[in-house]
Chain A
C-alpha cells in the first residue's frame, strides 16, 4: 500500500459548462420528445447487472473444449511433434497439427491473410493457423487438442512433445534494426514495411529555420487487455452442411467472410455472431485468429465424422498475453525547425515501429502515427520515414488509440521542447500553430489510414484550449506550484492536444423494420463491446420514427441479421452505424408517410411521425381521422397479408372502397413491408479533437508519481448520449494513465515475456486514478454525416502519455523522453541527471 498523501489542489475558478439535462424518463416509458442528446440509462444494463449477459464462454455448455500447445520459444524450428501419449488420454477426441491442415485443403494450408495491404509493405509475412515448421514468438499455436473439457485438454497438451531447434531471438527495435539475426530468413533487414510521405520542402525548411531541435523519444509496448479474453464457439449442422460460430470479436461480418474463405464455404452457409463481448479495445479486430480457423474447422470435421458438432475454445489470461496482440512500441527521432515565435516550419519524423513476428493487420498503426502526428497544427513542411520491423514477439495490431498516442507523444514533446527553447509558454506555442476554424476544411495532401485524403472537416482547437485553461486552472498553477515548493512538494502541469480521424469507411449499413405491433426491430452489422450501441442507436431510430426508445430493439454483430459491415474500431460505431440507422429510419419514415398520406388523404408534407403514429403536423397522435398507428401502416404496407392482430383489424377499416383498381397492390418501385436498409459511406474520415491537461505530483524521496488532477476537453461533434460518451472518455483516460505510469510488456533478450500475468502487468485499479477527472467539451459538428457526429471512443487515451510526461518534466526539470515511466525509472533519471549536472559543474 502506498503512503503518498493527497494534498489539496487548485481548482478551476470557473465551473465547467453544465452537461445536457441529467434527468430523463427511464427507457421503459413512452416519451415523445427527442432522444438524441439525452443521457438516458442504457437498455442493456438490467440484463447485464443481473448476471444474464451471454458472453462467449456462457454459450455452448455441451461443446467439446479446445486447448493449444503453444511455443515456449521465441524462435525455433519445429523438428517433430509427438502426440501419441496425448491421444491415449481418456476424454481426448482429436489432436491436430499443420500436417492435418495441409492434408485438408489448399485454403487451410495457407498463411493467415494480410488484411490491409499497402504499397509500403515490402515484406509481408504471416503465420499459419498452426505453426508449419517454424515458430516466431512465445505463444504461437502449434497443436490443437479437442477434449471433453478444458482440464483434460490441458492435460493432453502437457503430454505432447514438440522437438525444437531453437534459433536466436530478435527482441526489441534496436536488435531488429541491427539485423544481426533475422526473424524471417528471407527478410534480411527485418523490415516489413518502409513508409515515406510528407509535404513541402523539408530540407529547405530545416536549413532555413532560425531554430532546430532534435528529440529522441520512445514509447514502450502495452496491450488492450480487455477483461474478457478471446473465445470461439462453433456449431456444425451436418444436415444443412452449415456452420454457425460465435466469436468474441469486433467484426463478425469480416470474421465470417474469412472463415468461409478458409473452409471453402459459401457465405450463406456460414454465420458469425458476436455475443456479448467483454471489451475489445482493438485487440479483437484481428481476424481470423488461428483459433477461429481451427475451432470452426474442427467443428466441421468432427461434425462430419459424427463425433461431435460443437467445439469451443476460451483463452485464459496467460494465453491472451502471449498469443493475442500488443501495441505501442516505437522509437522516434524528431527534428523540428521553428522560428522565434515557435511557428513550426518543419517536422521531420523518423519512426521505428516494433511490429512483432507477423503482419496480419498491415501497417495501420504506423499509418496513424505517421499522419495523426500532425495533430491540430500546420507545419510548412513535413516528412515521415517510418519502418515497421519484425521481432520475435507477439504481433502488433491496433490498441485503442492505434498509433496516435505515440504520434501525439512525438508532436507534443516537440512543442514543449520548442517552448522551453524559446522561453515561451507551452500553451502559447500551441496557439501559434493551431489550424484555425476558418481554414477548415484543411487538406494536408496526404493519404490517411483509410486510403482516403487526410482532410480535416471541422474543428476549433483554440476554443478547446480556452476551455481547458479554465477547467484545469492553468493560470493559477504557477502560484500553486510555488506554495507546494515551499512545503517541499514537487508538482507539475502538462498539456497535450490531438486530432483524431474517426468514422473511417468504407461503409456501414442498417436495417430498420416496423412490425405490425408498432415495435421496431433494427440491426446493423458492426459489433458492440460495451459502447452502449443498443441504447444510442435506438435513440436515433426512435427519434426518426417518433416511437419510444424502449420500443426499438437493436441487434449488432450478427450476420444472420445484417450481412454487410466492416466492424467496430477507429471510433466509428456511432458515426457509421448511427448514420446508417438514421438513413434507414428516414427511409422508413418517408415510406410510412407515403402510405399514410394515401389513406388519410393528406399531403406527405403535412405529415410527421410522433407518438408511435403518423399524424398530421400539430395534431394529437391517435386522433381518428388525422393519424394512423405505425403498426397499422406496417400492415398496410404489406397488402397480401391477412394478419390476426389488433393492427390488422384497424387496417381493415382503411382497406375498402377507395382502392384504385388500376394500380398494383404493391406500387411500382416499392417493396412490401415497412422496412428499409440504408447505408452510410463517407468520402473521408471525420476529425474529432481534444486537449488534455494533468497536474502531477512526484515524491522527492521515493519518486512515486501521482496524478492529482486530470482534465479533458474533447470535441466529438454532436453527441447521441452524453453519459455514454463521458463513460468512454473516463475509461480511455484510465487506460491512458495505465499506459503512462504502469503498463509495459516486458520481454527478455530471449523473447520470454516476463510479465504475462495481472500481477506483473500493471493495469490501474481505482486507487491509481486521479482524485479528480474533469471533462468539458466543444462541439464542431461533422459536415460529413447527417447527424453531425464524430467518434469519441479513443479520445481519452490519445494524449495521456504526452500530458503526463510533460507534467512530470515540469515537476522535475528533467526531460522525459520515454514512456511509460515508473518511480524506479524516475529515480534513476534523477540520479543520471544529477551526475551529469555535477560533471558540468566541475
Chain B
C-alpha cells in the first residue's frame, strides 16, 4: 500500500493546518504495522497511548526514572518517555498488551504477577512486565539476586517489591512449565493475523490530530 506517500501527504496537510511540523512514522506495534502521522515533537509514550490507543503503557514521571513507560524496542526495554515517536521509524515495539498471547493466555510474566500478588494499583505494572519479559529471554533461570537486579530500575509505590521479585522467579517457573511457548512478538502467520484482527484500525494511517478520533 502507499502508506508512506499518504503519510507524507497527511503530514504536510497537518502542518499547513496547525502550523506545526508533522512526521509520518512507520513502525510495528505488537506485531502490527502502523503508520502514524503526528507532530514531530511527540514522545513515543504519547504516540503509543493516544495516537494508537494502546493505553497499557503508563506515564509516571516523564523524565525516565520511574520506568512505568517501559516498552520493548526491538525486544529491548527502553523508556518510551525518553524516545521521540519519530525515532521509532522502522523499528518494532512491544507493549504490555502485546505480551498477551493471541488466544488470550497471559504471558508467563503477567500470570506470575497474578499468582504472586505482584500488583496493587497496577500503574507501574506494565513497565515491570515488559522489563522482566525481556530479562527472562536473556536469563531464563535467574537467582534471587539477579531477579532483584532485573527490577532495580523500576519504581513501585504500592507493593514494596517483595512480590514483584517473587513474580520474576515465578515467571521463570511458568516459562519452564510451558516450555516452548510464548516468545516475544509473534512469528507465525496465524498469530500475526490474529493480532491484526484484534488491533482496530490495523494498517491504515492513523490521523495525526492528537485527541481527536
Instruction: Give the B-binding residues of A (Cβ under 8 A).
Output: 41-42, 44-46, 48-55, 57-58, 61-65, 90-91, 148-151, 225-228, 276-279, 281, 316-317, 529-532, 723-724, 726-728, 730-735, 757-759, 763, 765-767, 769, 773, 796
Q: Which residues of A contact B68 (CB under 8 A)?
A: 227
Pick the residue among B41, B97, B153, B211 that contacts A51 (CB under 8 A). B97
Q: Which residues of A contact B213 (CB under 8 A)?
A: 61-62
In the complex, A225→B121 CA distance in Å? Answer: 13
Q: Is A766 a contact partner of B161 (Cβ separation < 8 A)?
A: yes
Q: Is B157 a contact partner of A49 (Cβ separation < 8 A)?
A: no
In the complex, A42→B122 CA distance in Å? Answer: 12
Pick the residue among A62, A317, A732 that contacts B160 (CB under 8 A). A732
Q: Is A733 a contact partner of B160 (Cβ separation < 8 A)?
A: yes
In the complex, A759→B162 CA distance in Å? Answer: 23
Scoring B59, B99, B124, B211 by chain A CB atoms within 10 A of each residue's CB, the highest score goes to B211
B178 at the interface (CB under 8 A from A): no
Closest partner residue, chain B, to A736 (CB atom): B160
Q: Is A727 a contact partner of B117 (Cβ separation < 8 A)?
A: yes
Q: Is B211 a contact partner of A63 (Cβ separation < 8 A)?
A: yes
In the assembled complex, 23 residue pairs joining A and B whose CB atoms fall closer than 8 Å, in A order, are A41-B117, A42-B114, A49-B110, A49-B111, A49-B119, A57-B49, A57-B55, A62-B212, A148-B210, A149-B210, A150-B210, A225-B157, A227-B156, A530-B119, A726-B117, A727-B159, A731-B158, A733-B160, A758-B61, A765-B161, A766-B165, A769-B160, A773-B162
In the complex, A731→B163 CA distance in Å? Answer: 10
Q: Which of B1-38 contact A (CB under 8 A)?
A: 18-19
Contact A279:B210 (CB < 8 A) given known A42-B114, A151-B39, A734-B161: no
Q: Which residues of B contact A733 (CB under 8 A)?
A: 160
Scoring A49, A64, A529, A731 by chain B CB atoms within 10 A of each residue's CB, the highest score goes to A49
Contact A42:B117 (CB < 8 A) given known A50-B56, A151-B39, A316-B62: yes
B100 at the interface (CB under 8 A from A): yes
Q: Could you tell me the distance in whole angstroms from the C-beta of B184 to the nearest C-beta in chain A?
A: 15
Q: Which residues of A contact B89 (CB under 8 A)?
A: none
Q: Could you tell me the distance in whole angstroms from the C-beta of B79 to the nearest C-beta in chain A?
A: 12
Q: Is A530 a contact partner of B120 (Cβ separation < 8 A)?
A: yes
Pick the residue among B96, B121, B152 that contacts A530 (CB under 8 A). B121
Q: Which residues of A contact B80 (CB under 8 A)?
A: none
Closest partner residue, chain A, to B113 (CB atom): A49
In the complex, A58→B54 CA distance in Å? Answer: 9
Total A-B residue contacts, Cβ distance less than 8 Å: 189
Q: Which of B38-84 contact A (CB under 8 A)?
A: 39, 41-42, 49-50, 53-63, 65-66, 68
Q: Which residues of B contact A46 (CB under 8 A)?
A: 106, 114
Q: Is A276 a contact partner of B160 (Cβ separation < 8 A)?
A: no
Q: Is A766 a contact partner of B152 (Cβ separation < 8 A)?
A: yes
Contact A731:B50 (CB < 8 A) given known A65-B211, A151-B39, A757-B61: no
Closest partner residue, chain A, to B147 (CB atom): A766
In the complex, A65→B164 CA distance in Å? Answer: 34
Query: What mask results when residues 141 to 185 of chain B are scored 1 for a CB within 8 Å of chain A, else 0?
Result: 000000011011111111111111100000000000000000000
Q: Is A45 a contact partner of B113 (Cβ separation < 8 A)?
A: yes
Q: Which residues of B contact A51 (CB under 8 A)?
A: 54-57, 95-97, 100, 126
The 3 closest A-B pairs by CB, nearest first: A51-B56, A278-B123, A530-B121
Q: Is A227 a contact partner of B155 (Cβ separation < 8 A)?
A: yes
Q: Is A53 a contact partner of B122 (Cβ separation < 8 A)?
A: yes
Pick the residue among B114, B121, B152, B209 that contacts A41 (CB under 8 A). B114
Q: Is A317 a contact partner of B63 (Cβ separation < 8 A)?
A: yes
Q: Which residues of A contact B210 (CB under 8 A)?
A: 148-151
In the complex, A773→B165 CA distance in Å? Answer: 13
Q: Could you tell me the distance in whole angstroms from the C-beta of B98 to the nearest C-beta in chain A?
A: 8
Q: Which residues of B contact A277 (CB under 8 A)?
A: 121
Q: Could you tell me the distance in whole angstroms from the C-beta of A608 to the nearest C-beta in chain B?
A: 32
Q: Which residues of A contact B119 (CB under 8 A)?
A: 45, 48-49, 530
User: SS class of chain B's interface: helix, strand, loop or mixed?
Assistant: loop
Q: Which residues of A contact B58 (CB under 8 A)?
A: 55, 227-228, 278
Q: Which residues of A contact B50 (CB under 8 A)?
A: 61
Q: Is A730 a contact partner of B63 (Cβ separation < 8 A)?
A: no
Q: Is B96 a contact partner of A50 (Cβ separation < 8 A)?
A: yes
Closest partner residue, chain A, to B112 (CB atom): A49
Q: Which residues of A contact B136 (CB under 8 A)?
A: none
Q: Could you tell me the distance in whole angstroms from the C-beta of B174 to the nearest C-beta in chain A?
A: 13
Contact A758:B158 (CB < 8 A) given known A49-B125, A50-B106, A277-B121: no
Q: Is A90 a contact partner of B157 (Cβ separation < 8 A)?
A: no
Query: What mask results when residues 190 to 213 of chain B are scored 1 for a CB within 8 Å of chain A, else 0?
Result: 000000000000000000011111
Q: Which residues of B contact A226 (CB under 8 A)?
A: 121, 123, 157
Q: Is B60 a contact partner of A227 (Cβ separation < 8 A)?
A: yes
Contact A767:B152 (CB < 8 A) given known A91-B18, A151-B42: yes
Pick the residue among A54, A90, A757, A765 that contacts B154 (CB under 8 A). A765
Closest partner residue, chain A, to B124 (CB atom): A227
Closest partner residue, chain B, to A723 (CB atom): B117
Contact A758:B66 (CB < 8 A) given known A51-B57, A90-B19, A766-B152: yes
Q: Is B209 a contact partner of A148 (Cβ separation < 8 A)?
A: yes
Instruction: Give the A-binding residues of B (Cβ under 8 A).
Output: 18-19, 39, 41-42, 49-50, 53-63, 65-66, 68, 95-97, 99-100, 106, 110-111, 113-115, 117, 119-126, 129, 148-149, 151-165, 209-213
Closest partner residue, chain B, to A281 (CB atom): B157
Closest partner residue, chain B, to A226 (CB atom): B157
Q: Could you tell me the distance in whole angstroms from the C-beta of A459 to the nearest C-beta in chain B?
A: 25
Q: Could you tell me the distance in whole angstroms from the C-beta of A315 to the nearest C-beta in chain B?
A: 11
Pick the residue among A91, A150, A730, A759 that contacts B159 (CB under 8 A). A730
Q: Is B122 a contact partner of A41 (Cβ separation < 8 A)?
A: no
Contact A227:B211 (CB < 8 A) given known A49-B114, A50-B100, A766-B165: no
In the complex, A61→B55 CA distance in Å? Answer: 10
Closest partner residue, chain A, to B19 (CB atom): A90
Pick the residue among B65, B158, B211, B212 that contacts A759 (CB under 8 A). B65
Closest partner residue, chain B, to A155 (CB atom): B20
Q: Could you tell me the distance in whole angstroms from the C-beta of A731 to the nearest C-beta in chain B?
A: 4
Q: Which residues of A contact B126 (CB under 8 A)?
A: 51
Q: Is A724 a contact partner of B117 (Cβ separation < 8 A)?
A: yes
Q: Which residues of A contact B153 (CB under 8 A)?
A: 765
Q: Is B41 a contact partner of A227 (Cβ separation < 8 A)?
A: no
Q: Could you tell me the distance in whole angstroms from the C-beta of A59 to the nearest C-beta in chain B?
A: 9
In the complex, A61→B155 CA distance in Å? Answer: 27
Q: Which residues of B contact A732 (CB under 8 A)?
A: 160
In the complex, A65→B179 CA distance in Å? Answer: 46
Q: Which residues of A contact B96 (CB under 8 A)?
A: 49-51
In the complex, A149→B38 CA distance in Å? Answer: 12
Q: Which residues of B contact A50 (CB under 8 A)?
A: 56, 96-97, 99-100, 106, 110
Q: Is B61 a contact partner of A317 (Cβ separation < 8 A)?
A: yes
Q: Is A530 a contact partner of B39 (Cβ separation < 8 A)?
A: no
In the complex, A65→B156 CA distance in Å? Answer: 27
Q: Could you tell me the distance in whole angstroms from the C-beta of A670 to the nearest C-beta in chain B?
A: 41
In the complex, A769→B165 CA distance in Å? Answer: 12
Q: Which residues of A contact B163 (CB under 8 A)?
A: 727, 730
Q: Is A149 a contact partner of B211 (Cβ separation < 8 A)?
A: yes
Q: Which residues of A contact B99 (CB under 8 A)?
A: 50
Closest partner residue, chain A, to B122 (CB atom): A48
Q: Could you tell me the distance in whole angstroms from the C-beta of B45 to the nearest C-beta in chain A?
A: 11
Q: Which residues of A contact B124 (CB under 8 A)?
A: 227, 278
Q: Which residues of A contact B63 (CB under 8 A)?
A: 317, 757-759
Pick the residue among B18, B95, B114, B121 that contacts A279 (CB under 8 A). B121
In the complex, A52→B175 CA distance in Å? Answer: 23
Q: Could you tell me the distance in whole angstroms from the C-beta of B82 to the nearest C-beta in chain A?
A: 13
In the complex, A735→B55 CA distance in Å? Answer: 27
Q: Is B157 a contact partner of A227 (Cβ separation < 8 A)?
A: yes
Scoring B59, B117, B151, B165 by chain A CB atoms within 10 A of each residue's CB, the highest score goes to B117
Q: Which residues of B contact A45 (CB under 8 A)?
A: 113-114, 119, 122
Q: Is A278 a contact partner of B122 (Cβ separation < 8 A)?
A: yes
In the complex, A45→B118 CA distance in Å? Answer: 9
In the complex, A62→B51 CA distance in Å? Answer: 11
Q: Which residues of A contact B54 (CB under 8 A)?
A: 51
